Every structure is written in structure tokens, then in C-alpha cells.
Structure 1
Amino acid sequence: MVSDVDAFLRSAARRLEPRAEKLIDVLFEGFRSEIPGLWEGDDTALTLSLSEHVTCWLDVLEHGFDVTAIRAPPAAVESARGFAQRGGQVSELLHAYRIGLARTLQWTLDELAQLAENSELISAAAIKVSAVAFEFNDRIAKQVIDAYQEERERRLQWRLSFIKGATARIGTTFDVTRTSQELASVGIDYIADLVTVDLLDSVLRGEGTDSSTDLSTLRRIAQQSVLEGCPDSVVGSDETHTYPQDSEPARALATGSALRLHLTAADVPAWLTGPPDHGRALSAYGFHSVLVVPLCARGTTLGLVQFFRHRTPVPYSDDDLLLVQEIASRAAVYIDNARRYTHQRSTALTLQRSLLPHHVPELPAVETASRYLPCGAHQGVGGDWYDVIPLSGARVALVVGDVIGRGLQASATMGRLRTAVRTLADIDLPPDELLTHLDDVVIRYQGEQEPDTDEISATCLYTVYDPVSRIWSLSSAGHVMPAVVAPVATDSVSPSRTVDFPDLPIGPPLGLGGFPFETTQFELPEGSLLALYTDGLIEDRARDTDAGIAQLCDALDQAPASLEDACDLLLATLLPGRPSDDVALLLARSRVLGADHVATWDLPSDPAIVSDARTHAHEQLAIWGLEDAAFATELIVSELVTNAIRYGKGPIRLRMIRQATLICEVFDASSTAPHLRRARTFDEGGRGLLLVAQLADRWGTRHTREGKVIWAEQPLPADRSPGTGL
């Protein structure tokens, strides 16, 4: 019977060859409708890949069913590499092969049923074809995924090289022209055939940008081409020019949004060609892909940098656009520093405002409002700052600090400290440990100072609020105590609210070194109002600190429900005139993530429990109506729990949090942090965290007193997000 089945399938394969076009059409329609982004509209590449795939499948059926020596079709491998270059996700590639397997197998079985009348023979052939199809698909998919991963790794290394080169070469001086030329040179060396840098003429004159500023007149500050002398550029260096109001560069300047454009030889836009003679010349160069990126620094639009390709055949991808946006944003900061170098107080004030958060996203843990009010002193603004930093596990860090001193140095130091706090917060250090590291940072800054400059010192209050446990953790480095206003009970007959100042051990200011910091924890009722501020709010020449605190308590007791209105009331009450010191004020109202947003399971340290963990996750997603996220979530949970069992120590706990995103957390008692590594071809492990990194938007590790937490965060569909009204 076996030989009859083999002979039947070999014969069938030869008879199916003339009908292979039908299978190609079936696969083509499936891919174009379900995953159109995989080929980005390149029907020729898709048809070639499918044709090679079908030919390979029929060869397997005809020549003995040995799939061990099968090589993936070259077109499929090249498509996977191209998909990786465009920043596609591996899950889409795997989805494509699942679609291909299902439709190829169904078509083959339908065709076999028409080629014989012996039902027993057809049944046996169907069983064998099914087994061969799965092995065939697995081998092809593995080779294609390997090619995808190789290309992603190559792209990652190239990206790191690009960023490293840009970091080292851009911004070496405080000269606008040289910094702009450095940006153009880096672009030519890595990603473009022509780079042009245009700055707004008004910015170069020191007028800044506001509603009355002319955003149309630009000056060509720098440009560079792979062709000597930049013959492919319409505008000469140091020439002024304008773009039509309806052109893409003008739109990018007006909106601050970067653009990726594909051009054809027959449709070169007017803004690119200029006069007719230039248009004919540019058509000869064959421009086909352009990135238009606004240069924005500290909330100010400075100009445009444009990257063109005409010699390089590959068009720009979305990944390329994100990369050049990052490089351009860094270069814009350097250019802005250079143009403002001679305007110290104006520079310090602009820097101060730009470094403070412009927009705090909606957070599940707190509702926030903030104010920064610079002093009116002639000697310059100070170094007060505040920050709201989202942390893993739906938590949030609320920060306020004050750099001692005034002027550009104080503002620059504030920016460095805020960046340091954000960097340290990103690794989820407890408040006391974070301040200890921040103290070391300030001491290092002191060692880098010029001998005759004032010594750097600062105060900082770092707090973390957890909306699941309602625990507020605080640590202070010489900073004034925050105020806490308890919510009014619904059954209270008196509308008066209690204003408390936590009994918080205040450590020394940053920069002294050798002194400990302590963390204090409080459980907050839902709806508590937290007020973090710098001493300029309560201290003034006209009143002592006790009087300022009394006024603060009165204002908080009368604070309206709107936090924005509450900020205005506090500033109007305590600072009716221009303050003599900078003031940073941050108000936050605590929220609570209820039981319907959190699910927790305690798991034994046993490899057999991994399947139970996946089941828990699947069932919880069904309860939340998030079945669409089941595939990625189960993989993430499986990898994180396996990692904790294999490398950590019990007890192990799995927690899922549903808020604006879906968070999976695995707790264990080991302090060893995992890390991505490159698995070799024959390694049995080492790919778990890479898979998690591919499936999740963000992932990481935070250490606790009892061990560590590995977490991964996925986005929710917009119509499934619960928002923050918890």
C-alpha cells in the first residue's frame, strides 16, 4: 500500500504541475488580503516567491518526499531580508508561512481527491501529504526566519555604527555652519547620496520662532553629495530660498512632522526641481527617495535636513526615517546650542523650559498638573525642575529638584541631573538607592568642573507610587517635604481636608558624599492630592518658612477639583508678585488599579507549571476581551516563567496588569538580571528574551528587596484600552 501511495503522489505531482498557477493565485490573494505589508506592494517579487515555493513543493511530492535537503527559495529569502530592512516584525513573517501551509495543503488535498476514485488510497495519500507539508513548511520557514534574523542583526549593527558615528562627529564646536556640515557629512557616509541642511533665516538672526516669525525663508547652511561639487543640488551654499506653501518641506516646517517620499522620474515635484534647467538636470540624476526631517530643538523649529537617494537603488524605509529623526534631533540640539551661545540668560531660560516635561501622557497611577515659574532676578534663572516618569508595572515616579546657583551652568546641570534621574529610574532603583547613585553623579560632575567655578550642589525629592498596592515610597536629598491632602470622605459632614507633611528623614543635599539616604513608605487612600515643590514656593524675603507653609496648607485646603486650577490658585496665593527664586510645582492625584485590572498567580518552581501559566494568561485575556493578544502574550508568559524557573529561585509569581497597555510580570527571589545574548546555530537555548523583545513594545528587569521582576509590555488596540478612568 505504501508503494502505491508513493507512486500515486509522484504521478499526481507531475499532473498537478500544469495547474500550479491556480495554487499561486490562491496564495497570492491570501497574502495580498491578509498581510499586504509583507511585500509593500511589490507584486512581481511576491509572484516570483510564490512560484518558487510551489515548484519546490511539487518537487518534494514527485521525488520521494525527502525534505531534509530542501533549501528555501532564493526569492523567499530575499523577501525576508527586505522585510527585515523595512523594520517588519517576525510575527508577520511567521503568520505568512502559516497561511501558506494551510492553503497549499488544502489545495493539494482537493486536487488529489479529483485524481483517484479509490477512497482508501486518497485517505492514505492525504495523511502522508499532511505530514510532509508540515515538515516542508517548518524547514522552509526556519531558513527564512534565519535570514530575517541575520538581516535584523546586520541592520542593528549598522544602526549602532550610524548612531555612534553621529554622536562622535556632530557637535564638536559651537559653530552653526560646522555643526550643520558635520550632519551632512555623516548622512553621506551612512545613508544618503545628497544631504542638505537649511535653517530658518529668522533663527539665524536670533529672533527665534513664534506665531509672527517668517517660516518660509531659509538659508542653505550646509550640503554634501556623493558627486563632487554638489551638482545634484538646486540651491547653492549660503543662498536663501523658499518652498511653496503647499510643498512637503513647507508642511514639515509648519507641523514639525518628518516625511518619507517616493519619487518617479516622470513626477519630480516643483519644489525639488526649481527653474526648468535645474529640473532637467535633476531628472537625469534619478532621484527616487527623500526623507524630509524638521530640525527641532527644545520646542523650537530651526530648519530642515533632507536626505536624498539617486545612486543608491534601495528606497528609504520607515526604519530609516526613525533613525534619521533621532540623528537630526541630536544635531538640532547642537545647532541650537551654538546659535544661543552668546545669549546666556536667554539661553538658560529657554533651556530650562525646554527640559521640563511639555506634555505628561495620561497615566493609570496619577493625574498630574505642573508649573514652572522663573525668577525675575537679573542674574539669571535657576536650576529647579520636576518630572513625571512612567515606570514598569503601571507605577510612576514623581520627582522635583533644585540645583544650587543660577545662570547657564545651573540650567545645564539641571538638565544633566534630570537625564541622570530618568536613566536611573529606567533601571527601577528604589528611591534611596537612586539618590545614592545621583549623589555619585553630582560628585563626578564636581570633579569635571573648572577650578574657579562654583561647586555643584542640588536637592532632590524622588518618589514612586504604585497604583496596585497604593504604596507611596519617598526619599529626600536635602529637599523640602511634600504635602499630602487626604480625600474628603463621602459621608463627611465637614468639607475641610487634612493637609499632612510626611515624617520623612531628610538626607543631605547631593554632592556631599558618604551619607546615607532612607526610603519611607506610606499607603495612600485613592484620590489623595500630592504636592511636590521647590523652596521658592514657600520661602520669600517678605515671610518666613513657617508662614509660607501655613499659606500652602490654606491654599491646598481650598484647592478646586481641577489640578490645573489648583496650580493657579497655589501660585496666586503664595506668589502674588514676581518670585525672587525659581519655582517648580508638581501636583498629583493618586489613582488605584482595581482587582478587575490586575490578575496574580503564585507558581511553583517546576518546569511543568509553564503550561498552566499559559492557561492562566489565556483565560485572563478572555475575561478582559483581549483574545487577539493571546498568541503573543502566551509566548511572553511562557518565556518569562521558564526563565524564572531555569535561572531564578522560588517563590515565583505571575502578574498581569491591564491598563492603557497589557503588562506581564514574573517575580522570583533571585537577584540575577537576565540579558539578551546571541544564540549560536546549535544552541538549545538563548533565544527566549530575543523572542520577548520582538513581541513586546518594552521589556526589562527591576530589582526588589526580595529579588527581581521581569516584565514585558504590549500595546492594546485603541478600542480595547480601558483608558485611565479607573
Structure 2
Amino acid sequence: MERGTPDGPATQSAVAGRIPLAVVVVDGAGLVSHWSSGARRLFGYAKDEAVGGRAIDLLPVSGALPEEAATPLDLPDAYEELGSDLEASLGGHTSYPAAGRARLSEPGRDRVDVLWWAYPLVGPGPERLLVLAADADGLRREDPHDVEDSADPEGATERIAPGFGLHTEFPGYEELARRLPEILPSMSVAEGSRIVSQVLELGYPVLEFSRHDRVPVTPDWGVPRRAERKARRERVARAVAEGGPVPPELADETEGGPVPPELADETEDLEHLADETEDLEYLAVRERLEFLNEVSGRIGTSLDLARTINEVSRAIVPRFANVACTYLREQVVAGEGFAEGVPDSTTMWHRVALEHTDEPGRWDDVVPVGEAMPFPADTPFFQCMTTGDPVLIPYISEEMGHAIASELDKRDIRPFIVGRSMLIVPLKARNVVLGFSVLLRHPDRVVFNDMDRVTGAELAARAALVLDNARMYTYQENVAETLQDSMLPQIPPRMSGCDIATRYLPGTLLGRVGGDWFDSVKLPGSRTALVVGDVMGHGLNSAAMMGQLRTAVQTMAALDLPPDQLLRNLDDLAQRLGEQYLATCLYAVYDPIAGELQISNAGHIPPVVVRAEDGRSDLLDLPTGAPIGVGGVPFETVRVPVSPGDRLVMCTDGLVEMRGEDIGVGLATLCESAAHPAASMDDACDTIVRALAVTFTEAGRGGRKDDVALLMARLNGIAAEDVADWQLRVDPREVGRARRLVRAQLRRWGLEQLVETAELLVSEVVTNAVRHAHGDQLALRLVRSDVVQCEVIDDEHTLPTLLSTGPADEFGRGLAVVSALAREWGSARAGDGKSVWFELSVPVGRRG
């Protein structure tokens, strides 16, 4: 045993004892699941023989294993018999670590004096017992003087005993805690961390020389690889020089030759050293592969950039490095595309993550997360991002630290990098450098080497691929959302005779962008078309289909087609566009003067009507119809009488339908929440959305996955006293009568300010109708709401057009005057003829 620091000379003030350790892990069935090379040398069983075997047959550890091998281990009871002074409460059980000595006597082997420590393990994994063991005879042979210095010289070696102590009781306890994972060299990160934390809680393994002289144990895995290889080559060379035969295990070092008998002991030692080196090399490679596989499994859990970066950082620290700082291109953070080519000194890099094991807050002011900066050409960071290759600096000297810091003019980073080992790895995917990670190790840790450079590069490559997928996904989502936002209408809150409120909620799991939409279209006769539709599917294609169908609905609505005819035309159009054009649609026309809804359904969920009279809410019983794009199914129009104050609620199935749940539950909740009183239309919409969210959460169905379109209209109606209708003859003399009628009606409504403009415009519209009508009757209507609308209906199908006129033209100026003076105007086919209308704004305070 060597007394002193793990890497320093022996001193009188003991810090740690480095001894070869055997490490064994036993599962809950009493079978060995981990058997180290040290266990093979100490107990004499090869790994293949031990793993899977009954621990009670392999470990002569008195009292630490149950007597009955056929039953699973009952660790608390097993350790109770030993009467250990140290106990810890883990997972609701009282478990006791145990320690002791055993003497092994087997045929063909010298008697071995074994010191052992046994720890009960709890947790989700299969591990239930950790056993550490060492050769006590080897301790006495290694350095008896140290033992004698620490205890009474007489019989001091007999006082060596295994025990437990808090690692914080010894100098350099942080180093002890850091080195403890080395006891489990081939465990995965998750398993090793869990076991190490329990060992620290139950007690650090120590060697006791007396009641007051204890030394913490750290594992000794042999001499460094380079020194071992050098010793191996020297011994082989000496064997060859002496003329002796070379052992078969060393035949790859020389051509062979006789080895004299006096070198037999050295040859045997060399064989053991070679076996240990092979074990160490195997374990090192296996550990790195396990590390890479585990990190790869942890960083692919989402396509969210921030989450992916944090997962990578937390996987690296502290297992691979003590500090991990990640930078990404500005365009990657924004989810945008960027030009191909090598970055230059003007490229902006955002610091997106910083993970470290230093004291909290130490790095925050010097390298704050979120900062953007370029990197000068004479820095290793620039070299990494331009070449796309890792940059390894085993040790940053004062001079090198000053050179790097001088190129970065923002803050002095020398205290944070000098004396440390640095590895810069590029985050490169598809031949594009997206960013890079700066990894640092503390001065008291082994410096980065070539194997670490390969491991870091492989880790960065896997992380970069996930980041690039997240970047492209974010970019596509941004494009789709922009497209969808541009297609969703900005509906005014008040239309003629009704108030409207809408909500659009993107999907959360199946795809944030979908094909749900809502719309409202102003129609002749103070009517309003209300539309809700849902394109099947999600993503960019669905959003594009939604835009095409919505445009088609608006165009056909402007022609004032009946609801069933409009859906028929939309169905024909969808079939012509392609087989993938499938959608449901609900189309309603509200007539505030007649107090009536005309509704037609194409495979959509029915709307809800909330009656103002008694607050009752009902689903309208409509013919379902087939979805748009199916073809061959007729559509029907249903007339529904409504009263002023009634509310119409139309939505897509994403609001009421949840996978695994009956849609009737959602529809019932929709009816109930729609009837709930609310201060405003917006509040009413929010009440519906919250109620449906709570219903499905309480049912254990999780959050909403599909996107949602919701439209609510309060049907205020237009009172009879706000409507004036007249019949006019097709006679030029009726133009004057029309002016007089409009003038008188506006004065009765107290709208004298509009008389002059209204007379001029009605004169132009009636004159045009008289000139082109075929029959003998015209209809003139004046409606007061938030605006004053004047409408003239005749039997001519040809719609008027706005013409470009010159100074000498005698005709064509009428509509130009209407367009210039009216708030809004339009024309549409109406029944067997056409309707031409215009609107004038009502002064504030005079609105009905």
C-alpha cells in the first residue's frame, strides 16, 4: 500500500491508500452481474465463469450473502447479523454496509487473506449488492514501513481491517468523490452515478490501522499504459538477450528465444501485467462506446433546439469534461437558412448553453448564455469552425492563455482557461458547421488525449445531426406557420347584424401546423356567411390546401350561391385539384333581417346554438353529408330560425375529439361551456377552450394534439324600424323619387349628415338599374346598423363593372363616383337578377 496522494509521493499525512481492488456486483437473484479483472486475479475465476453464477459459490464473504442461494437476496436482514455501526436509510429500507476479512484456502493456491467491503444497493436497476475486495497479504508485502508508521510497530500488520467513513472527513475529499466512479469502470453512466451516490451515503471504504488511524481507499488499476508497454518491451528484449524462450503471449514483440530460469518470475509478472493491460484497454474502449451510446439515446428525444443542446451539455459534464460551452450560428438559433460556405470572422455565434462543475455563478458574468459574438481568425475556435476538425490543446499555458484572451476583446477569460486542458469539437452535419463546443478539464484531472479527441468528435457529430434535424424542422415549421398565418383571415369583430369572435390554436403533438380555418364573408342584403373548415392532415401541404379551399369559398360566397350549391361546387373543385384534397366544411348564411340561418354541412361536426331566451344550448340536427373531395354525395340546406341575442358556435373536431375518448363527451362539454355566461365574446371563447382542455386532462388523455379553429357569432339581428323597403318602376322618373325616399328616411333616423352623399349615390345606382333592367320593377332597400347600406335589385344578370373613362365619355362615370364616395360597394347575383349596394359610415353617436 502507498500512503499519500493518489498521484504523489508518500507523506506522513495520509490522504488515500491506492490498492488493487476486486469489484463484484450481485443482482437481486443472488447472481453475479459484474466481475472485474481484479476479481479474477483475487478469487481465481475468469469473468465468463463468474458472470451469471451464484455469488454464494464464488465469494467467500462471510455473512454478506444469504445462506440459501435459491432465494433472492434479502439485503437488510443479511446485514443485520453483522451489527455494523454505520447505517443509512435508502428507499424506505434500513440497510447496513458490511466489512470483514476472509482467508481463502484452495487446492493449488496459497492461502489468501482477503479484506472486503459490501454495500447494499437500492433503485430501479437490477444491482442489489456491491462487493469490493483486496489482498491483505499484498498490502503487507507492498510497503510494511508505511503500516508501521501509522500504528504500533508490534503486530501492526495484523491490525489492518476494512471499515467505513465519511469521505468528507479526509483531506482532498472532493478528489475522493471524483475518483470513486473509477471503482466501476464498465458501468453505464446512469448505473454508475446511482451506485456511487449510495456508496458515498453509506460510507467511504477505508483501511483501519488503529482506532484513530484510517486511510481512504482508492483503486489502483496498475501502471500507466505507456510505462507498462515500455516495461513489457524491455523485459522481452532482456529475455531475448539472455537466450531464453519467449512466452507465446509475447510472441508479437520478438521472434522468440530461450529465457533463463532466473527470469521465470519476471515472465510470470509480465503475463499478469499484459493481462491487466488488455483488460484496461478493453474497459476503456467499452466505457467510451457505452458513453457514446448513452448520450446518443438521450439527445434524440425531441426536435427542440434548446432542449437538445441542454441534453448534450448535461451528458458531457461531468463524465467527459468539467466545462462545456456551446456556440451556434445565428441563423441556426433563429431557425433560418443560411448560405453555404466556410464561416468567416464576421459570422455571429450565439452562446446557447454552459454547463460546468465549478461553484455556481462563477462563469455567468464572463460568458453569459445568450450572448452573440464573432471569433477572430487567430484563435483555436476559428480554426475549429473553419476546418471542421477538432482542436486539442492538452495544456493551456500562461502564454497561450494570454494569446487567446487578447484576441477576445470583451472579457478576460485567462483565469478560466489557464492550466486546463481544452478540446474544441465542431458541430458539423451534412458538411456544414452549425456551431462548436468548447470542453475544458480541471487541472487535477487527466488531460484530453487522442482517444478523447476521437470520442469528442464522434459525440459532436451525433449531436450535430440531431441539431440539424431540429433546425430544418424549425425552419419548415416557421415557413408553414407564416403561410398559415397569411391565409387565416383577420375577421372584424362586428359584421352587419352580428358580433364575431374567433380562436385558432395550433396542434401540440401531431403537428403544430394544420389545415383548420374559419372565415366570414359579407353578402348582399346585410347578410353574412360564416365558415369553418378542416383539411385532413397536418403540415405544409395541409396549410397550402387550406389556403386554396378558403379562397374558393370566398369567391363562391361572393356570388351569393346557396349553401348546398356552394359545397357542391367546392367538392367538384377539390376532386379536380387532386385525390389528396379532403376536407370537412360547415357553411352558414345569417340573415339578420329575416332572423334566419341557412346551413349546409360537408362531413363536419354540427354547430351549437345557444338560445338567448332561456340560455339553452343544443347541437343542430343537420344532414351530415360527405367530406369535400369524396364526390357523388348530395348536400342539403337547412333553415334554422334564430332570435336576437342567440349565439352560433362552430368549431373543428380538434376541440372536441380526443383519441381513445368518445366524441360525445367533447360535444356535451362544448354545449355546456357554450351556454356559460361571459362578459364578452372573447371571454366566451376562452371559457370553451379551457373547459374542453380540463375535461380531457381529467380523463387522463393528456393535452390537445390536433389544431383547433373556433368561430362564435352573436346574432343580434336588425330591427324592423332600421329597415326601409320600396318598389320602384323601371322609369327614369323614379330616380328622383328614390332620392326623395332616401332623404326622408335618413332624416327620420337623424342622419342628416349623410343625406347629400346618399342622394347622389342612390341616383347613380338607380339610374344604372333603370337603364339595364328588362322587367318593370326595381327594389330599393335602406338598412341602418353600424353603417347605412343602400341596395338596388333588378332582373339583369350582367354585373356592372368599373370602367376607365375619359373627358369626352358620356357614360361610365356612375360607378366611379360610387367607388370614390362610398365606404364600400359591391355587386352580386341575386335570384333571377343582380344586386348593387353601397355603404356609408354612420357618425359616432348615431349608430343603431
If each structure's helix is expressed as a fraction of its own residues, which one has the higher value?
A: 1
The normalised TM-score by structure 2 is 0.42
Which structure exhibits the higher relative contact order, with contacts defined as CA atoms closer than 8 Å and separated by 6 or more residues? 1
The normalised TM-score by structure 1 is 0.48
